[in-house]
Structure 1
Amino acid sequence: MCAPLTLALTLSLVASGLPATSANAQLADSVSLSAPQEEPEAAREAVPAQLAEQSGDDFYCRERRLGEWFYCEKPKAKPSEQRAQQPTQSSADQLAAISKQLEEMKARAILQPTTENVSAYIAFQREQLNRASSFADMWRRTIWQNPELDYTLQRPVNQLGKRTWLDNRTADKNRVLASISKRYGVFYFYSSACAACEVFGPIMRSVSDRFGLTVMAVSLDGGPSKAFPNFTVDTGQYRAMGMQGQQVPALVLFDTQTKRPMPIGYGVMAADEVMDRIFTLTSVEPGSDF
């Protein structure tokens, strides 16, 4: 395929008036110029390592080394992109870092109370107070707009709401306590040598008379009770009710249906407090009041 081309080139040069020998010389020069120069072995070995990682056509990427402009090399990430690729710090870590920095600036201002240190601490502290204020404001706005998150609808805090809630609560309590004696009874543990029991005995008698609640007085030392002359002596009832030690006075509510004791409390209590605790133990779901 090269012979006809060489022959045609020679004939064209001869036709132009050049001697054949000159034509042949120029032909040789042109051939030598157009022939690809072989790269020395050492130069080929010195190809940068990054070219070995180039992708694409070998001729354009490896031999001609066109680089990233012809998609032979992947473009280098910009500094902003490199920062974006780095893992971000969690919100909890950011908050901990702020608290640590605030404590450090406070300590520096106390140990080195210069104008610069104190001013820097005040400015940083005010920045965090502003952040906390924004959070508190957004908290209340969110509660206003989402009634399922507003606990004050269950337990009001304003005066009018609290009064209404207490009135409803009193009505519910009176209704429950009016029939409490049909299912529950109370064990009243006391000691004849206990001064607090002398005070608490009459209180429990008034509760029993008011609500028709059965109260079983149990003496731990065998001594009598002025408020409950029909007492019984403890023969293991105290421990059977799940009580520990010998603390008196003590009250235990007993469910006659489930046979389950529920300690009410120890020490001297007012009659209303006793009934509030009985109402809570029998009619209020744990956690609903808080």
Structure 2
Amino acid sequence: MRSATKLALCAAAGLYMAGPLAAQDAGATNDAADALYCAERKLGYWFYCVRPAPTPRETEPQPQASTSAAEELDAITGTLRELKAQAILRPTPDNVAAYIRFQREQLDRASLFSDVWQRALWQDPALDYTLERPVGALAKKQWQDTRAAERDVVMARLSERYGLFYFFAQTCGACEVMSPIVKAVASRWRITVRAISTDGGPSRHFPDYSVEKGQRPRMGLEPGITPAVVLWDSVGKRPIPIGYGVLSADELQDRIYLLTSKEAGHDY
């Protein structure tokens, strides 16, 4: 019994030590066994002597990089420029015809975009800016009348808080045009005007003028530009420049209305 046990332990130890080597020779041993049982002894049909070929691993298809719409549009623009350059530098019938065909395709594409754009505006009032600022003759007339009525309400109360500084020069030809406009607007809405001569010369429209003594720099105005109209806020104690040069009466009133009653971005 002791001898049998000893032999078993030795055999186990031998197998343990030979494990790495056996793993290395596994392929060779299997090949030899196949040759012995299949080729020499011819064991027959029920033995699998031919090893099945390993199934090749299927490679996953690589996702193709998608082209963005912006890249596609850039490519179209590049092609159009190249065809145009070819037609100009080498004006053969083929080059010119190729440019015309491609250009026509892009014109058709633009026409389709324009048509769909217009249909989208018709069907979604939130997208139609002309509902806020009409362009049609009839709708525009109605919008202008409504806006003028709102402006007149503001202008009627303007003199309670605001006055006008009007800077002019005797030698200024534009001032001769602008002076009666300023006087008419101020008279209509009973706005006090303080006319200031920048060169000391008189004005036949504003006989009670005064000569400038540094008022413009203190108001932060551009020096030397006449005529200039400035609204003075008696409550906020601040100047509000209205504009330089010649303005029509309607434009002058419109600017005063916007600058005194509308915040930027609420009327454009």
User: What corresponds to 1:197 in structure 2?
Assistant: 175
C-alpha displacement of 1:202: 2.6
C-alpha displacement of 1:30: 10
Matched, 1:250 2:228: yes
Q: Name which of 145, 158, 179 aligns with 2:157.
A: 179
Q: Distance in 1 between matches of 2:35 and 2:265?
A: 98
Q: Distance in 2 between matches of 1:222 and 1:87?
A: 75
TM-score, structure 1 as length reference = 0.70
User: What corresponds to 1:119 in structure 2?
Assistant: 97
User: What corresponds to 1:235 in structure 2?
Assistant: 213
Q: Name which of 43, 54, 59 aligns with 1:76.
A: 59
Q: Secondary structure at the match of 2:230?
A: strand
Q: Name which of 87, 103, 110 aligns with 1:132.
A: 110
Q: Secondary structure at the match of 2:194?
A: strand
1:98-113 alignment runs, 5 A limit: 98-113=76-91
Q: Name which of 244, 250, 253 aligns with 1:275.
A: 253
Q: Please list the CA deviations of residues 31-75 of structure 1 after superposition, one character each: whole Å capped at 9, or x if unmatched.
A: 93259xxxxxxxxxxxxxxxxxxxxxxxxxxx865223xxxx2x1
User: What corresponds to 2:47 in structure 1?
Assistant: none
Q: Distance in 2 between matches of 1:66 and 1:272?
A: 91
Matched, 1:160 2:164: no
Letter in 1 for 2:36: S
Matched, 1:67 2:55: yes
Q: Please list the CA deviations of residues 168-224 of structure 1 after superposition, one character each: whole Å capped at 9, or x if unmatched.
A: 111111111111111211110112332332332232222221110111112223333
Matched, 1:93 2:71: yes
C-alpha displacement of 1:259: 2.3
Letter in 1 for 2:37: L
Larger mean CA deviation between 91-100 and 232-241 belongs to 232-241
- Alpha-carbon distance change, 114 to 222 in structure 1, aligned in 2, over 3 angstroms: closer
Q: Please list the CA deviations of residues 82-127 of structure 1 after superposition, one character each: whole Å capped at 9, or x if unmatched.
A: 4xx1322222121111111001111212222333222222221121
TM-score, structure 2 as length reference = 0.76
Letter in 2 for 1:66: P
Q: Distance in 2 between matches of 1:284 and 1:31?
A: 100
Unmatched 5+ residue regions in structure 1? 1-28, 36-62
Letter in 1 for 2:59: K
Q: Distance in 2 between matches of 1:198 and 1:212?
A: 21
Letter in 2 for 1:67: T
Letter in 2 for 1:259: K
- Alpha-carbon distance change, 286 to 30 in structure 1, aligned in 2, over 3 angstroms: closer
Q: Secondary structure at the match of 2:208?
A: coil
- Alpha-carbon distance change, 92 to 31 in structure 1, aligned in 2, over 3 angstroms: closer
- Alpha-carbon distance change, 285 to 145 in structure 1, aligned in 2, over 3 angstroms: farther
Letter in 1 for 2:186: S
Say if 1:155 and 1:289, in contact at 8 Å, map to a contact too.
Answer: no
Q: Secondary structure at the match of 1:67?
A: coil
User: What corresponds to 1:51 in structure 2?
Assistant: none
Q: Secondary structure at the match of 1:118?
A: helix
User: What corresponds to 2:242 in structure 1?
Assistant: 264
- Alpha-carbon distance change, 76 to 279 in structure 1, aligned in 2, over 3 angstroms: same
Q: Name which of 148, 153, 156 aligns with 1:170.
A: 148
User: What corresponds to 2:28 in structure 1?
Assistant: none
Unmatched 5+ residue regions in structure 2? 1-32, 40-50
Say if 1:176 and 1:279, in contact at 8 Å, map to a contact too.
Answer: yes
1:22-61 alignment runs, 5 A limit: 32-33=36-37
C-alpha displacement of 1:132: 1.1
User: What corresponds to 2:128 in structure 1?
Assistant: 150
Letter in 1 for 2:200: G
Q: Distance in 2 between matches of 1:159 and 1:244?
A: 39
